[in-house]
Amino acid sequence: MLVGCYLRVSTIDQAEEGYSIEQQKDKLKQYCSVKDWNVYKFYVDAGFSGSNINRPAMQELIEDVNNNKIGTILVYKLDRLSRSQKDTLYLIEDVFNKHKVSFVSLNENFDTSTAFGKASIGILATFAQLEREQIKERMQMGKMGRAKTGKAMNWWNPAFGYIYNRETYDIDQFKADIVKRIYKDYLSGTSINKIAENLNSEGHLGKDRQWSFRTVRMILANSDYTGNVKYHGKIYAGQHTPIIDQKAFETTQKELKIRQQEAYSKNNNPRPFQSKYILSGLLECKYCSCNLALVQYRPRKDGTHLSVYKCPSTMRKKMFTQRQLSNCISKTQERQMLEEYVIKEISKLQANTDKIELMSSSKVVDVDAYEIELEKIEKSLKKLVNIYVDTDSLTIDIFNEKKEALLSQKNAINKKIQSIKKKQPELSIKDAKKVLRGINGNITRASYDTKYKIVRKLIKKIIVGNEESTIKWAFEL
């Protein structure tokens, strides 16, 4: 029998006893000798993770199996083949079994040519997947620990102006001076493109390539320069010395946003969209369900503008069909009058927040009980696997029957949770009250910007009719 011996080691495994390539190879040789098997080839992936099968030797092994060159695959341990349950079962079911190739794992003492081996492979693959998730979790916890203690997070690529040194950053004074100059020039009114142009005209000192808009922009937005470290969107106090003080950095971030919006406005760029008026995008025609469009007329003699909302179906444009033109009876609505109506309705709620509970047609259903039940099922699944592996009290048929029953319950609960979440309003009653109580004074006297923000939080859409309009609140279904 020709045997293909597969060996793999990752950087994590290299320090673990019994996992080195040579140790695996020696054990597999001895096993083949005892079984009187002939080794066709050793397939070695050194320094490759078991999280996927995109490995050179693994791909070569699959090709040789497809060409019927091997009768058996031998590994030292199941997780040498893969740490992914999905990949393990794919290799065994869709590659090895398809070509009648047996799979043998020395450490677990089973092979797929036996009934027990076939039954055990799914269980063992589950544990391999669990181990991979645990490794991933430990690595994430390690990174979080680094961030909380202020250690360098980008040790492989420190920010321009810093040098990585023993868990933290040291300042490269020459480059740090360039960083300070970039911030100073930007806050003095120089554009990002001009800063890059100036640096390049001087020979892009300190860099092995030309400065670009992107590289300057990244420096202006990098919080590492304030002496902090960032991980998963959160900022932690770092151990390194800041190059830019916190106040200058915050001022720069505000200036970046201001200039970005000015650029969008100047170039008439709709992305990202920011509506100018409080009702923009919220108004829907009662008769044809089109979103109302804002139309501004030329200035009056007193300098004011007349702004109105119109249903697009009533406008004679090529994009609308004659059917739409003839069916929609929507009339023009003055912007100011609509805004005053909406603000007045919010003011009524502000005066009586308890009214929200009467208006809300739904009660928020707590999903915590369903989440707790899911946890119980997960524990039952793990317990079932342990009973099957550690004792002889369960046959494979009973094991599969109980497992499928638990998985069926789990699937049903997940569907129920999703169904509940879909039926919940966009804004809870509690949060709606919080928004209203957070308004300083009556909303009718608030600034236009404040009104804009409140309307966006409380209102889902407004159905506009010729005689009356209906507000669909975010706390209603």
CA triplet 150, 153, 154: central angle to 5 degrees? 140
Residue with tokens 């007349």: 306
Task: List C-alpha distances in Å: 362 to 2, 358, 476, 477.
Answer: 68, 10, 7, 7
**Hey, is 158 helix, strand or coil?**
coil
CA 211 to chain centre: 30
DSSP 351-378: H-TTHHHHH----PPP-HHHHHHHHHHH
* Dihedrals phi, psi of 263, to nearest 5 degrees: -65, -40
Q: Where are the alpha helices (DSSP H) in 156-245?
A: 173-187, 192-201, 213-221
Residue with tokens 């069926």: 408
What DSSP state is assigned to residue 37?
Answer: P
Contact 275, 281 (CB under 8 A): yes
DSSP 75-117: ESSHHHH-S-HHHHHIIIIIIIGGGT-EEEETTTTEETTSHHH
Roughly how many angstroms between the first and final C-alpha of the chain, as a whole number? Answer: 68
Instruction: Tokens for 433, please give them.
Output: 């009250």
Return d(Cα 202, Cα 189) in angstroms, integer: 20
CB atoms within 10 A of CB 413: 18
DSSP 253-287: HHHHHHHHHHHHHHTT--SS---SSTTTTTEEETT
208: amino acid identity, one letter: D
Contact 13, 80 (CB under 8 A): no
Active-site annotation holds for 10: yes
User: 49 CB contacts (<8 Å, ≥6 apart)?
Assistant: 10, 83
Contact 457, 466 (CB under 8 A): no
Instruction: Tokens for 379, please give them.
Output: 């524990």
Give me the catalytic one of 10, 49, 82, 84: 10
Task: List C-alpha distances in Å: 411 to 3, 310, 423, 433.
Answer: 41, 47, 19, 35
**Hey, is 3 helix, strand or coil?**
strand
The alpha carbons of the chain give a radius of gyration, in whole angstroms, of: 33
Active site residue ranges:
10
